[in-house]
Amino acid sequence: MATTSLLLAAALAAQAPAAETSAAPTPSAQGNAATADLGSKTICKRVNVRGSRFTKRKCGSADQWEKQRRHNVQITREMQQSDGSSKAGT
C-alpha cells in the first residue's frame, strides 16, 4: 500500500508543471514591456449607440482610447462649468 502511494505521488509530481524552472519574465520586466508597446496594441470595446439599445464594436490602439478618454473628460468638464446658455444663438 505504501509503495502504491509513493508511485502515485511520484507520477503526479512528474506530471505537474514546474513553475520554478520556467523562464517567465519577472513582473517588472513584464510591466516595462507592456508600457513599451502599449500604444501599438489594438483594443476592441463595445460602445453604446445613441438612440438604440444595441452596442457597436469599436477597435483602436491604446493611445487612441486614451486620447478619446481625455477628450471626453474635457468636454464633460466644459459642460459642467458652463452656465447652460448658448452663445451661438446670441
Q: Return the minimum-mean-pLDDT range out of 21-25, 33-37, 41-45, 48-52.
A: 21-25
Q: What is the pLDDT of residues 1-10, one digit of tens each?
A: 454 454 445 5
Q: Nearest to residue 47, comparing CAs of 58, 39, 38, 36?
A: 58
The predicted pLDDT at position 83 comes to 74
Q: Does the pLDDT at position 82 exceed 70?
A: yes
Q: Would you say 38 and 62 are in contact if contact means Cβ atoms under 8 Å apart? A: yes
The predicted pLDDT at position 30 comes to 54
Those residues whose C-beta lies under 8 Å from the C-beta of residue 47, and which sit 6 or more positions away, are: 55, 56, 57, 58
Read off the C-alpha cell for 80: 459642467
Helix (H, G, I), strand (E, B) or coil at 24: coil
| Between residues 83 and 45, the one the model is more confident about | 45
Distances (CA, A) of 79 to 13, 20, 90: 62, 54, 18
Give mean pLDDT, residues 53-61. 95
Residue 68's CB is within 10 A of a number of other CB atoms, namely 13
Q: What is the pLDDT of residues 14-35, one digit of tens each?
A: 554 444 444 445 555 555 555 5
The predicted pLDDT at position 40 comes to 76
